[in-house]
Amino acid sequence: MNRNDIHTGKPIDARVGSIVRWTHPRSLTNGIVIAVRESGHSAHIHWFDHEGHGFYPLDHQHLVLVSK
């Protein structure tokens, strides 16, 4: 898969405290946004059901906004 294939070009309107969902069929999970980069293109997300966290592009095809 080409890295550019993961981007939709339409970032979600996430803010610190927003609840987001990762929708990949093999790893469905929810998380909370703990920081948004100044550029607004990526956010640091802490996932609820495992210890994973990190920066993710806000226009990733598997990232959806659940609650602001």
Q: If you search the block for the tokens 């607004």, which residue do you land on?
A: 40
Q: What CA–CA distances, in Å, run from 40 to 12, 13, 32, 43, 55?
A: 10, 9, 16, 8, 12
CB contact set of 17 (below 8 Å; sequence gap of 6+): 32, 33, 68
Q: Write down all domains in the chain, each with its CATH number in brackets.
A: 3-67 (2.30.30.140)
Confidence of residue 2 (pLDDT cuts 50, 70, 90): low
Kindly report the pTM of this predicted structure. Answer: 0.88
For residue range 24-57, what is the model confidence (pLDDT) as tens digits?
988 899 999 999 999 999 999 999 987 789 999 9
Q: Are 56 and 43 in contact (CB under 8 A)?
A: yes
- Sheet of strand 42-47: strand arrangement: 53-57, 42-47, 29-36, 19-22, 63-67
